[in-house]
Amino acid sequence: MKAAGETTLKKPTLIILIFCCTVLLVGCSEERILERLSLPTLIGYDVNEENTEITTTAVIRQVSPEFESRIEIQSATAPTSKGTRIDTNLKTSRKLMAGQLRVILLSENLAKNGIEGALHTTMMNSEISTSVYLAVVEGDTKDLLEYQFPSIKDIGQHIFSLIDQNVDERLTVSSTVHEVSRDLYSPYKNTVIPIIKRQEESIMIKDVGLFHKGKLVGKLPSKDVFYILLARKDVEQGTLELLLPKDGFDIDDSKQELQIDKLPIAIDSLDSKRSIKIVNSDTPEFDLTIKADCRLLEIHRSVEISKMEDLKKIEEAVNKEIKKELERVIKYGQEVGSDVFGFGDYYFTHTRNPHITEEEWSEKFKNMKVNIKTDIRVLRNGVFE
């Protein structure tokens, strides 16, 4: 029995009511007509020598009512990035909306002075996704973006695709706004960002930049990216090129057109597992173990690989070379004071009552000891099996 005066909405009436509310809510949203908007896909930031003014260069896509798009480059200089946006708006006939932004470029000079300001500005803009890539430009971003590349029609989309596909191939590090801000605001871990440059009539990822407290403090060539990845996380796939010493290999001299000092080798399909253990929390001292399965993709044809013992020799040489390269890359990180490998995070979370400040960890990191053990297995050797 229902109490007196109690009413119950029937299902059809309830559905109609919900539909009407939905229509009203949608109608209250801001109307954004595509052909009335300017859509920046890439923004580059430069600073002057005195670090008092910012130059913003934007790659903007304009869409016509016929859905044909064209690309224009707009640049503005002001004391703040917001001021440059106002100046850019004054030069365009359509309102700027940053929802299609894919890449933010930072000049090398800005990176050396610190990226925290640019990152803070980006994160304050609710239109910008945290999946936007950050990259550093060797030189000024304005010079790169305004250069007339004969084979590049949309430089914004080109740079985005360049970074994105190399991240997928494990040839550079992923540096989205989310990832960079996470590392930047962590007191025990530093960030690493790709560095791009113009190479004659093309654009390439040349290096990766190592940061400390938001400032660029060092560079490593792109060929070292895989060692950074191996040291900081598990890696599912990737390709690695190595130069192995000739000692210990049976070389068929009749197949050598030229004398070689090192044996080039390529391995791929690495499925690596990384584990860290604290041996001594005072020094500190870590055991870093890298286990990986890989496939022999390419090796100099003068090396016989038809027998199992030949593959074992290759395994031993690969393990020694990867261990040596890991030691070199980690040592360089210590020299410039950039812990992009995550030793500090592990130390803080696995040491009882660490009570350690960011400055104290920086000193410990420079003097830490890392015992590296590699267990690399060659499971297949391509078309030879």
DSSP string for 313-332:
HHHHHHHHHHHHHHHHHHHH
pLDDT at 367 (0 to 100): 94
pLDDT at 250 (0 to 100): 67
CB atoms within 10 A of CB 13: 10
CB atoms within 10 A of CB 253: 7
pLDDT at 382 (0 to 100): 54
Tokens for 206, please give them: 């040349």
Peptide bond into 12 cis (omega under 30): no
Domains of the chain: 34-222 (no CATH), 233-384 (3.30.300.210)
pLDDT at 34 (0 to 100): 55
Distance between CA atoms of residues 307 and 210, nearest Å: 42
Phi, psi torsion values for 270, nearest 5 degrees? -70, 135
The pTM of the full predicted model, rounded to 2 decimals, is 0.84
Distance between CA atoms of residues 188 and 348, nearest Å: 8
290: left (phi over 0), alpha (psi -120 to 50) or beta: beta
Q: Is 156 helix (H, G, I), strand (E, B) or coil?
A: helix
Give the torsion through C-alpha atoms of 157, 158, 160, 162, to 10 deg: 160
pLDDT at 21 (0 to 100): 56
Per-position pLDDT tens, the chain of length 385: 444 444 455 556 656 666 555 545 544 444 445 566 778 899 999 998 888 889 999 998 887 655 567 888 988 888 877 777 777 777 776 677 777 899 999 999 999 999 998 888 888 888 888 999 999 999 999 999 999 999 999 999 999 999 999 999 989 999 999 999 999 988 899 999 999 999 999 999 999 999 999 999 999 999 999 999 999 999 888 888 998 887 777 666 555 554 667 888 898 877 889 999 999 998 999 999 999 988 888 887 777 777 777 788 889 999 999 999 999 999 999 999 999 999 999 999 888 767 888 899 999 999 999 999 999 998 766 544 4
Distance between CA atoms of residues 284 and 263, nearest Å: 36
Distance between CA atoms of residues 79 and 375, nearest Å: 53
Instruction: Print burial letters for 273-302: b (CB count within 10 Å at least 16), e (below 16).
Output: ebebeeeeeeebebebebebebbbbebbeb
pLDDT at 1 (0 to 100): 46
According to DSSP, the residues that pair with 276 across neighbouring strands are 288
Distance between CA atoms of residues 58 and 349, nearest Å: 41
